[in-house]
């Protein structure tokens, strides 16, 4: 009997590996799944059923069609005078415009925020001044003191007749009680989870998550970056001795249209309601929503900023945000500064970084010294040593957990958003980044990076990372094999 069960199991393993191979995905991911399925009995097959089966092409065709329809609705209200595009980035701007139907928008005021002490008071101030609608699209909306404070503020605006809509990721909010969201619904707020993970359809949804962080107030103010709604951004957490360090951008001007459009596409996906009224794309007014509180807390403000917001996900034909990263890295001539909490680069990004460093470009990368994901941290170390050997300068942020996702290059272009430098963000998650073509704003983001650098230690000062023991290297190599799956 035992022999029969063993034979049946081996047949299932072979058939599962054949299914992986026939999916024609990237060879690295194919090999990773094949190894997990073969060498991790039963658990490997279960993991593949839950997280590995590629159903995204079939499941998102209708969503992609709605994506294009909503973009056409936006463009009806997004008229602007002819733009003067910077010569050095014109090809990237046209790439995004053609491939992602993401038009550039000029004349924006952008404020950078590097902590929860800046972002959350500014957000609460803007919520209090909202007159038409508030749209929030986040991965995590915690039920903690900060989450309840923002929830109370949203409930107060809803009772005054302001339309309030919230999208939260179901997996990201697994630890949050349903009652927390029900209280907001009972107050008139429309709250929807993104792709709820429930049996028996668990395997269709667990792998593709909405990781975006978007906030839109009256269609005039928008926020984009890496912060969720959680107390860890203003209070020390278990993962770090200090608060989480993250970056958000507050945008005023026509550039908010693209944040609004991204939210409304997601809203149609979760609610099946198409919102295309003109009030969601009002004429830009840079003065009516300027808050004294925001101005005081955010001295890093630039005006007349040209920008593009790019969304990517498993419904995309190509990984647009990753393309932007590779384009910027290979085009850089003087420097490239990057912050990311998780560094598991695919072959394209890895090759671009090594190529730039080998060509003499000053490439610097900051990652957290202490991570909230141990396996991911182990898997990333061999990548870090590999790019260090090519000339990339590696630093570990020690003043808390670094959750910031930004890239700065040559004092002319920068980006921040929700995308990490890893396989999951570039291939599986729904992400959003804004690319800024502004010398003034880029220098301000560069200064944020350099300030973080002062709170970091170089790889050379950490012998256990630079020259690990044999056992540690073996563990790192094994976890690196799984990096396409993390």
DSSP string, 265-334: HHHHHHH------GGGSPPP-SSTT--HHHHHH---EEEEEEEEEEEE-TT-SS-HHHHHHHHHHHH-SS
The predicted model gives 215-237 an average pLDDT of 92
Sequence-distant (6+) residues with CB within 8 A of 398 are 369, 370, 455, 456, 457
Query: Does 218 participate in catalysis according to the annotation?
Result: yes
Quick one: tokens of 219? 């269609």
pLDDT tens, 410-433? Answer: 999 999 999 999 888 888 889 999
Among the listed residues 29, 169, 403, 422, the single catalytic one is 403
Query: Does 271 participate in catalysis according to the annotation?
Result: no
The 8-class DSSP code of residue 340 comes to -
Quick one: tokens of 52? 């590995």
3-class secondary structure, 187: coil
Mean pLDDT over each residue of the chain, to the nearest integer: 82
> Which has the minimum average pLDDT: 281-295, 312-326, 379-393, 460-474?
281-295
Among the listed residues 135, 213, 289, 354, the single catalytic one is 213
Residue 468 — very low, low, confident or very high, per pLDDT cuts 50/70/90? low
What does residue 108 show for φ and ψ, rounded to 5 degrees?
-95, 150
Q: Rounded to 5 degrees, what angle do the CA atoms 352, 307, 138 make?
A: 85
- At the fourth CATH level, the homologous superfamily of domain 61-89+105-307 is Endonuclease Chain A (3.30.870.10)
The predicted model gives 182-204 an average pLDDT of 79
Domain range list for the chain = 2-54, 61-89+105-307, 320-485
Query: Does 211 participate in catalysis according to the annotation?
Result: yes
pLDDT tens, 166-181? Answer: 999 988 898 899 999 9
Q: Are 408 and 414 in contact (CB under 8 A)?
A: yes
Does the structure show a pLDDT above 60 at 9?
A: no
The predicted model gives 292-305 an average pLDDT of 61
What does residue 188 show for φ and ψ, rounded to 5 degrees?
100, 5
Residue 204 — very low, low, confident or very high, per pLDDT cuts 50/70/90? very low
Give CA–CA dist 363/332, Å, rounded.
10
Among the listed residues 133, 266, 405, 422, the single catalytic one is 405
Give CA–CA dist 25/48, Å, rounded.
14
Among the listed residues 218, 246, 422, 452, the single catalytic one is 218
Query: Does 289 participate in catalysis according to the annotation?
Result: no
| Torsion over CA: 464, 467, 468, 474 (sign) | positive
Q: What is the value of pTM for the model shown?
A: 0.84
The predicted model gives 263-268 an average pLDDT of 91
Query: Does 235 participate in catalysis according to the annotation?
Result: no
Among the listed residues 29, 133, 135, 211, the single catalytic one is 211
Query: Does 405 participate in catalysis according to the annotation?
Result: yes
pLDDT tens, 97-129? Answer: 888 778 899 999 999 999 999 999 999 999 999
Among the listed residues 137, 169, 266, 410, the single catalytic one is 410
Supply the pLDDT for residue 379.
Answer: 77
Hey, how many other C-beta atoms are within 10 angstroms of the C-beta on 232? 24
Q: Pick the closest to residue 57 from 366, 297, 301, 314 (CA basis).
A: 314
Q: Which of 87-91, 334-338, 383-387 has the highest mean pLDDT?
A: 334-338
CATH number of 320-485: 3.30.870.10
Give CA–CA dist 52/43, Å, rounded.
12
Supply the pLDDT for residue 486.
Answer: 55
Give CA–CA dist 435/447, Å, rounded.
17
Sequence-distant (6+) residues with CB within 8 A of 441 are 110, 112, 302, 305, 414
Supply the pLDDT for residue 51.
Answer: 56
Supply the pLDDT for residue 277.
Answer: 85
pLDDT tens, 136-158? Answer: 999 999 999 999 999 999 999 99
Asked if domains 61-89+105-307 and 320-485 share a fold, the reply is yes
């Amino acid at each position: 009997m035992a022999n029969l069960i063993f034979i049946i199991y081996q047949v299932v393993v072979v058939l599962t590996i054949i299914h992986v191979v026939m999916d024609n995905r990237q060879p690295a991911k194919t090999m990773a799944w094949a190894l997990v399925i073969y060498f991790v009995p039963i658990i490997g097959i279960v993991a593949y059923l839950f997280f590995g089966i590629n159903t995204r092409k079939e499941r998102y065709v209708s969503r992609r069609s709605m994506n294009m329809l909503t973009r056409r609705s936006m463009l009806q209200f997004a008229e602007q005078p002819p733009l003067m595009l910077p010569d050095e980035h014109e090809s990237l701007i046209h790439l995004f415009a053609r491939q992602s139907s993401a038009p550039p928008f000029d004349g924006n005021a952008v404020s950078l925020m590097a902590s929860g002490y800046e972002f959350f008071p500014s957000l609460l101030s803007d919520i209090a001044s909202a007159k038409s609608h508030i749209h929030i699209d986040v991965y995590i909306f915690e039920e903690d003191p900060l989450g309840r404070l923002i929830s109370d503020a949203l409930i107060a605006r809803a009772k005054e007749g302001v339309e309030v809509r919230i999208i939260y990721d179901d997996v990201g909010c697994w630890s949050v009680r349903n009652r927390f969201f029900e209280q907001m619904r009972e107050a008139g707020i429309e709250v929807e989870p993104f792709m709820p993970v429930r049996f028996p359809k668990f395997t269709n949804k667990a792998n593709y998550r909405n990781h975006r962080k978007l906030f839109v107030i009256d269609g005039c103010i928008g926020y984009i970056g890496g912060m969720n709604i959680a107390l860890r951004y203003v209070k020390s957490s278990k993962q770090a001795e200090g608060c989480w360090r993250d970056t958000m951008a507050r945008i005023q001007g026509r550039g908010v249209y693209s944040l609004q459009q991204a939210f409304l596409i997601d809203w149609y996906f979760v609610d099946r309601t198409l919102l295309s009224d003109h009030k969601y794309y009002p004429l830009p007014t840079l003065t009516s929503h300027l808050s004294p509180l925001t101005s005081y807390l955010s001295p890093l403000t630039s005006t007349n900023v040209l920008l593009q917001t790019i969304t990517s996900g498993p419904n995309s034909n190509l990984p647009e945000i990753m393309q932007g990263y590779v384009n910027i890295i290979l085009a850089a001539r003087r420097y490239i500064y990057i912050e990311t909490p998780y560094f598991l680069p695919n072959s394209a990004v890895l090759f671009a970084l090594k190529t730039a460093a080998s060509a003499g470009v000053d490439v610097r990368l900051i990652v957290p010294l202490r991570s909230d994901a141990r396996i991911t941290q182990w898997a990333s170390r061999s990548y870090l040593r590999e790019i260090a050997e090519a000339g990339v300068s590696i630093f570990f942020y020690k003043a808390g957990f670094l959750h910031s996702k930004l890239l700065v290059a040559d004092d002319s272009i920068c980006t921040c958003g929700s995308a990490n430098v890893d396989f999951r963000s570039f291939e599986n998650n729904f992400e959003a980044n804004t690319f800024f073509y502004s010398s003034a704003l880029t220098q301000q983001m560069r200064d944020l990076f350099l300030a973080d650098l002062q709170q970091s230690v170089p790889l050379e000062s950490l012998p256990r990372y630079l020259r690990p023991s044999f056992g540690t290297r073996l563990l790192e190599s094994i976890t690196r094999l799984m990096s396409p799956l993390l």
